[in-house]
Structure 1
Amino acid sequence: MKVTVIGGTGLIGSQVVRMLTDGGHEAVPAALSTGVDLLTGKGLDEALQGADVVVNVANSPTFDEASLDFFRTSMGNLLAAGERAGVGHQVILSIVGVDQVPALDYYRAKTLQEELLKQGPTPYSIVRATQFYEFMNAVLSWTSDAEAVRLPATPVQPMAAADVAAAVAAVATGSPLGGIRNVAGPDVFRLDELGKVTLAAQGDDRPVVTDDQAGMFAAVDGDVLIGGPDVHLAPTRYQDWLKQAR
């Protein structure tokens, strides 16, 4: 099976390419660095030539309102190129609970991407994953200073990027879902508690102050970022990932 991986040189995409290749498939990474521009369509026809499946894990360069235009244009170009190439399965990576957080521009943009895929001409699958362990330091940095880290008590169920990639690769090599598969880590945390675990593991003695107005995830209501009853649980626990990362 030939699989073109859009965003195939990034954190998730490079691992998807490796996993598919190890599984005996022909996996082709496509990104700006390989001459493929999702916004202009340049190089898309060549990248998709002969592909059975397209996996799209490309991300917007911003998380603001401009991300809406990015996903609108890129999804439209990819669906049109896929139809020209006769691609039989389009897969995208999205976010658990993405349609439940309209206050965030980026989440509205990813919801738009999902809707465009659903309305497109090709059988599809959507993999919705929770937040990545790898992004925890960035989350801490948004609302921290030399004295303390402020985080809301938002429930989260994060997972390792390698487990995200494995879930995407598994869906890409199966039959189109015509719907959504939710994947999440094995444990639920409050974000402020997760911050304490992370700082302790890094030997950082700054306190974590619970502040439900702090940072991007303050806009999230309830437990919409939790996997839910139909979730596929990934194996890697955060504490184990932290030890490995060190």
Structure 2
Amino acid sequence: MKIVVIGGTGMIGSKLVSMLGEQGHEAVAASPNTGVNTLTGEGLAEVLAGASVVIDVSNSPSFEDAAVLEFFETSTRNLLAAESAAGVGHHVVLSVVGAERPPERGYFRAKMAQESLIEKSSIPFSIVHATQFFEFARGIADEATDGGTVRIAPVLFQPIAGEDVARAVARVAVGTPLNGRIEIGGPEQGRMDEFFRNALAAWGDSREVVTDPHAHYFGAEVDERSLVPDDGAVLGDISYAEWLSRAGR
């Protein structure tokens, strides 16, 4: 089966292409680096010819509110139109756990706009909502840093390894379209401030983690369950400690 991975040269996309190829599928990485641009439509018709499934794991180069909305709306409209013309039978998109909850963040509003376009299209679809990736933990800590302290809210947190994300998305892609959403998260749930206190210690990072109920998460306050999946989510297998040790991180 030919499966086109939009954003296929990125962190999750490259893992998907490798996994799907190992399963015997014709997995094609599509990104500006390979001559495919979903914003302009360049290369879409050619790469989608003969494709059964499209997986979209692309991301906006800018997280500014207007720019990220423009990216997801324009990219998704172009992609869905090209898929319809090519007869693609399953559109899979990677989104974010909590995106449908009170959308104070521009990024979440943009992801919900993307999902709305997908749901209204004629193409069968599956939407995968993932929690935060282990690979982004340092970036989260840096964004929350104030001087020599990292201010983190004492809310629930359940991050997941990129490898587990790719494995779950690949499983959905080769299955029957859900025409709905599935949530995925890491195998361990705990308080976000405690996770980062332990993570910084493991990194040998001298910054102090300060528990702050009003700390912002990328510009907005979060409540107890903003960042974790509901009951029934698919859970990954790799713990954060295992992920750190695997590559000697």
Same fold (TM over 0.5): yes
Tell me, which stretches of 5 or more residues in structure 2 are unaligned? none
Q: TM-score, normalised by structure 2?
A: 0.95
1:184 aligns with 2:185: yes
Q: TM-score, normalised by structure 1?
A: 0.96
Q: Which residue of the partner structure matches residue 123 of structure 2?
A: 122
236-245 or 33-42: bigger deviation: 236-245
1:144–1:224 distance in 2 versus 1, CA, 3 Å: closer
Q: Is this contact kept in 1: 2:8–2:17, CA < 8 A?
A: yes
1:8 aligned counterpart, secondary structure: coil
CA deviation map 1:199-241 (0-9, x unaligned)? 1101123221112333425422230321211201111111111
- Counterpart amino acid of 1:17? V
Q: Is this contact kept in 2: 1:104–1:219, CA < 8 A?
A: no
Q: Is this contact kept in 1: 2:216–2:222, CA < 8 A?
A: no
User: Take 1:224 and 1:204, find their aligned partners in 2: how far apart are those partners?
Assistant: 27
User: Take 2:107 and 2:221, find their aligned partners in 1: how far apart are those partners?
Assistant: 12
1:241 aligned counterpart, secondary structure: helix
CA deviation map 1:100-133 (0-9, x unaligned)? 0410000110011111100011000011110000
222-231 or 13-22: bigger deviation: 222-231
Q: Which residue of the partner structure matches residue 213 of structure 1?
A: 214
1:220–1:145 distance in 2 versus 1, CA, 3 Å: closer
User: Take 1:136 and 1:200, find their aligned partners in 2: how far apart are those partners?
Assistant: 13
Tell me, which stretches of 5 or more residues in structure 1 are unaligned? none
How do residues 34-53 of structure 1 correspond to structure 2 at under 5 angstroms? 34-53=34-53
How do residues 221-232 of structure 1 correspond to structure 2 at under 5 angstroms? 221-232=223-234
1:174 aligned counterpart, secondary structure: coil
Q: Provide the aligned length of Structure 1 versus Structure 2.
A: 246
1:99 aligned counterpart, secondary structure: coil
User: What's the Cα RMSD here?
Assistant: 1.3
- Counterpart amino acid of 1:34? T
Q: Is this contact kept in 2: 1:95–1:130, CA < 8 A?
A: yes
